[in-house]
Structure 1
Amino acid sequence: MKNFLKTLSILLLCGFIGITASAQIKTYNVKNYGAIADGETNNTVAIQKAIDEASANGGGRVIVPAGRFVTGVIDLKSNVELHLDKNAFLLGSAIRADYGAGKASALIVANNQHHIAITGHGVIDGQGHDLLKDIYRRLNAGTLQDTEWRKPNPWHQMRPTEDNRPKLIEFKNCDAIQIKSITIKNGLCWTQNYKSCSNLVIDSIKVENVTYWNNDGIDIVDCKNVKLTNSFFNADDDGICLKSEDPNSACENVYVANCRVRSSASAIKLGTGSQGGFKKITIRHISVYDTYRSAIAVETVDGGVLEDIDIRDVVATNTGNAIVIRLGHRNQKRPAGVLRRVYIGNVKVDVPAGKPDAGYAMEGPVTGAAHNIIPSSVTGIPGSRVEDVTLENITINYAGGAKKEVADFGIDTLEKVPEKIPDYPEFSMFGELPAWGFYIRHADGIKIKNMVLTCKGDDYRPAFIADDVKGLSLDTLNIPQVKTKPVILLNKVSELVLKNIKIPGSAKQNIQVQ
């Protein structure tokens, strides 16, 4: 990984030397092309003219100075850096028609370009609240078509389809990209989408995107050689999300570090889209808070290969779930995928009794069936098993307080846990689970080293359940509070290694093997 990052840095430095590092770079101030900073005038033509001229001249820096510049869709070109000065606001148009007649374009787009950048200490503001008013006005007038907005959904809202809600940044098939120091906020869909791109560096950005649902903080889709560091994400949907939409590609050589995340979905997520897969993903030093779903979600359900994942140093407070690892089979047109060689270490998560994102403007939807606190989980499916997962130095503190009258799940028949083979992957997908701390099923080669599971309140369920697991090693599993017995239930587990299990009381009573 160190060699990869060094090489990537050198390549980007060389590639951008002409537009970001040289004292001789040519600048193109959008005001000189007619842009007006009054917060009302549409400056699309002026800004695009500056970009086009810079690109035609071999590259340069297009400067958006301090002020409020409204724009429609702008197309970033090769060898051009879009630079937002301090106190510069690039405001997305609040008129739906400015994003195209069919599917809404993103605000800033680039296709098949190279050596492009968005830098500076300014703000890209999608003006989502005002744009949404215009969308509803047109829908009610019948001048805008939408197939989804009147359909029932978990949010109980008339929600326009994503095709009518523009992203803020969308780059496709681009190479050598820098996104640095900017603030991005108030979109109506994914904040930024980088699809099939290579050599992408994102550093020190701030994302505030809680205007509406589906507002992922960042989506990295089938990209190669990515470095995302020192950034903040407050998103209504997933915070930092890697996806794979091309069966012949994958997210590969991705490094994420030193980021802080708040989400009404999951903080760090690989999936749900998982056509090709995820390979050589490294994640370090992530802080998570007030997050509704999982701190870490690692999922492949569309036939993709997920392998060589290394996640370390994650601290999450007030978060609904610590870790979910899921191999499913949602895409029935292809064989189930592969999930193997995953390491997760140095993780601490505090799971509350209530809804962690309660009070935020756009909360995540309440799950359908009533359930108690849901444990972390590693689950495959019959015939397609999770392989080679190591969980080391993991502490998960649960609030507890489970009640049988909310949802009762006895341990006499573990077969009651539904398989949900084609379902959308989520920590709550099975409903009530028979364990309060950790649940593992249909997996091979699971190593747990130095795991602590605590539960403040009462819980009638065992702390830890493994069902249909081949090759399970529990080395220093510490469960200091005994809520019920057995504390550990092992069903259909072979090649079992138990070492230094720390549970108060008799091991014979606390550990049940069947």
Structure 2
Amino acid sequence: MLENSSDQNLSRRQWLLKMPLAILGSFAATHTFAQFGNHKSILHHQIDLNSESNIYNVKSFGAKGDGRVLETNAIQAAIDTCFKNGGGTVLIPAGIYLCGSIELKSNLIFHLSSGAVILGSTNANDYHAVDAVPLSGDTTLRDGNWALFYATNAKNLVIEGNGTIDGQGASFHKSENGSSSQNVLWGEKRPHHFLGYHCESIKIKDVSFINCAYHSLRIIQSSRIDIQGVYIHSRVNVNNDGFHFISCKHVAISNSTVLCQDDACAFFGSCEAITVTNSTFSTRWSVFRFGGGKTKNITVSNCLLTKVYGCPIKFQGSPGSSLENASFSNLIFDDVTGPIYIACGFNPKDPNFDVRPGYPDTAKKAEVIVRNISFHNISGTVLSSPGQLPDLIGSVRVYPGEEFSCITLSSADNAIMDNISLTDINLTFGGGGSKEAGERRELPQSGGQYFSMGTMPAYALFVRSVNGLTLNNVKFNFFHDDERPAMIFDQVMDACIENVSLEAHINANSAIRIINCKDMLISSPRLTSSTITFLQVEGSENQNIRITGGDFSKSEIPIDMARGANATMIRRD
């Protein structure tokens, strides 16, 4: 009985709200809130994952798990039933399950038990296109809409467990004569491991994805994506991307390993609010790849990039695109080429510029913006030429411009590159560059692929047309002799270069070359080897270049003026 008689006329809803939580919990264990008409609690809608009624074992729907019988229908039936009943867990017990295209749905936990292997069929008839995913309009959607697993317009989807999804991607090659058999998918029809489109709240945890025919995890125009402890190993087919996101928001990747052939972690379209941490990457192409849209608010930290025979960090500035507010910190580069390439702008005379189909002519003149990008605490080794990954099926040709690469920050045309910083950088380069390469003056004015620049004229750092540049506590040297300058600054404005240590070859024209730069402070530089000239200043447009302190006593000529430069442009304290 209620203590206060005035409470006797309370409604059931009011009465429940006044009850202590402990009593309410006891009451909820024996009653359902459906008894109280339309007054339903959120608790009534939550899924009890410990209840067998919410677990859908695929073997209860006819799956055998023997690796011989096609299990597509059985697994799909379990998923459909789970979805129809409001959600729950679809359980894949230990075993081998051969299947084709499967649709995952909302409020679903797809659990792969230890010892469970999903084996992608090698029969083209077992797959189909995901018609909800368009292949026209946005050119970043051109890379196929076929998948082993897919989800469209789904919410609250989890793919988890210590099991494996094997795409058997080696079976999706063209034949030796260049044609494909009727039973083999090729080009855009190769299935991705997982294709998500217009989804919200996706979690992928602890699953191994191996041997994909195309991209492993391809997620488009989706938000709230959490990827933890994922292992990807796909080097059996061309375009074996690891993570591939298009116009996604709120993406978190952690504690994962990606060994792939193409882009390991690609962000196309307009991606934002991205974090990548505590992960390992290896690839024949790029690791962190940006381009094609307006991307912002990115942090990458505590990652190992090993055997990256392409470019660890790459932004290819297509017309109308941008990259803003991005931080790359606490990274190890272990035997990489590239190693950082940010280029934007367009020059129609450059045949190497990758103009993607679908861009209108006016877009070629659209502005490209790169702003507020920082690189901090990066160390390791940079090779002079890409190697071949030992587990890669087939070989990949080395483009001429991939050899003797360096950190490149280059804008051209009407592109804007503003506020770039490199701090606490310690890199050793392979060396081998020639004096002739170091004397190059004409480089392509484009935002094309990193190898479109050809052999770089600097062995460590090339910067062109940047406004607002900071270098602090940077050390560059090489394994073998390299006759190119360590650093070249071309048309750079407002630069602060502090505590830089450089190795330079005795035959190099200079350790540093400055071309038509303005408002530049070089503080406490240090030359670690003997060379003829420490700093060469070129061009008639240099203004307000100041050098304070430092030790470049190992050079015969501290400062040399050339090609129209004169002593009034520079001040040495």
> TM-score scaled by structure 2?
0.77
Taking the aligned partners of 1:290 and 1:506, their CA distance within structure 2 comes to: 32
Instruction: Answer whether contact 1:139 1:145 (CA < 8 A) is retained.
Output: no
Matching residue within 464, 473, 483 for 1:450: 473
Q: State the 1:364 CA deviation.
A: 6.8
Q: Which residue of 2 aligns with 1:464?
A: 487
Q: Which residue of 1 aligns with 2:372?
A: 341
The higher-RCO structure (CA 8 Å, 6+ apart) is 1
**Contact conserved, 2:284 with 2:310, CA < 8 A, in 1?**
yes
Unaligned runs of 5+ in 2: 1-41, 132-143, 347-354, 539-573
Aligned mate of 1:490, from 508, 514, 519: 514
Identity of aligned residues (%): 25
- Which residue of structure 2 aligns with residue 383 of structure 1? 414
**SS of residue matched to 1:129:** helix
Alignment of 1:306-321 (within 5 A): 306-321=323-338
Residue aligning to 2:215: 190
Q: Displacement of 1:210 after TM fit?
A: 0.6
CA distance in 1, matches of 2:161, 2:424: 39
- On the 8 A contact 2:438/2:458 being kept in 1, the answer is no
Counterpart of 1:373 in structure 2 is 404
Residue 252 of structure 1, CA deviation = 0.9
Measure how far apart 1:298 and its partner are: 3.0
**Contact 2:486–2:504 (CA<8 Å) still a contact in 1?**
no
What are the equivalent positions in structure 2 for 1:62-73 lying under 5 Å apart?
62-73=90-101
CA contact (8 A) 1:471 1:495 kept: yes
1:145–1:44 distance in 2 versus 1, CA, 3 Å: closer
2:266 alignment counterpart: 241
TM-align CA RMSD: 2.6
* 1:293 aligned partner: 310
**What is the CA distance between 1:130 and its match in structure 2?**
3.2
Deviation per residue, 1:349-396 (Å, 9 max, x gap): 301244333534247733443775111110111221311111111111
SS at match of 2:76: helix
Q: How does 1:472-483 map to 2 (within 5 A)?
A: 472-483=495-506
Find the partner of 1:221 among 234, 243, 246: 246
User: Match of 1:175, as an amino acid?
Assistant: E
Residue 443 of structure 1: CA displacement? 1.3
Q: Which amino acid aligns with 1:91?
A: L
Which string of whole-angstrom CA distances, capped at 9 and with x for unpartnered residues, describes residues 437-467 of structure 1?
A: 1101121111111111111211221110011
Distance in 2 separating the partners of 1:316 and 1:368: 21
- CA-to-partner distance for each residue in 1:319-353, whole Å, 9 max, x for gaps? 11221112234455420321111011111130124
Which amino acid is 1:172 matched to? Y
1:278 pairs with one of 289, 295, 311: 295
**TM-score, normalised relative to structure 1:** 0.85
Mark the runs of 5 or more structure 1 residues left unpaired by the alignment: 1-13, 147-159, 245-249
Q: Which moved more, 1:488-497 or 1:454-463?
A: 454-463
User: CA contact under 8 A between 1:490 and 1:513: conserved in structure 2?
Assistant: yes
Is 2:343 aligned against 1:326?
yes
Equivalent position SS for 1:168: strand
Q: Distance in 2 between matches of 1:504 and 1:131?
A: 52
Distance 1:94 1:145 in 2: 7
Corresponding residue for 1:90?
118
Give the aligned partner of residue 106 of structure 1.
147
Distance 1:296 1:25 in 2: 48
> Contact (CA 8 Å) 1:60, 1:81: kept in 2 or not?
yes
1:356 corresponds to which of 377, 387, 390: 387
1:41-85, CA deviations, whole angstroms, 9 ceiling, x for partnerless residues? 111111111101101111000001000001111111110111000
**Change over 3 Å in CA distance of 1:395–1:174 after alignment to 2:** same
Query: Partner amino acid for 2:272?
Result: E
Partner of 2:226: 201
Shift of 1:20: 8.2
Count of residues in correspondence between the two structures? 468
| Higher Rg of the two aligned structures | 2
- In 2, the alpha carbon distance for the partners of 1:373 and 1:340 equals 27
Q: Write the distance in 2 (CA, Å) between the matches of 1:507 and 1:419.
A: 30
- Rounded to whole Å, the distance in 2 between the matches of 1:446 and 1:364 is 39
Distance 2:176 2:456 in 1: 44
Tell me, yes or no, if structure 1 residue 429 matches structure 2 residue 452: yes
Give the drift of 1:231.
0.2
**CA distance in 1 between partners of 2:176 and 2:455 (Å):** 42
Counterpart residue type for residue 108 of structure 2 = V
- In the alignment, the residues of structure 1 paired with residue 47 and residue 277 of structure 2 have an alpha-carbon distance, to the nearest angstrom, of 26
Tell me, yes or no, if the aligned pair for 1:175 and 1:198 is still in contact at 8 Å: yes
Q: Name which of 391, 398, 417 aligns with 2:443.
A: 417
Query: Is the Cα contact below 8 Å between 2:444 and 2:452 reproduced in 1?
Result: no
CA distance in 1, matches of 2:394, 2:372: 34
Find out whether 1:510 has 2:534 as its counterpart. Answer: yes
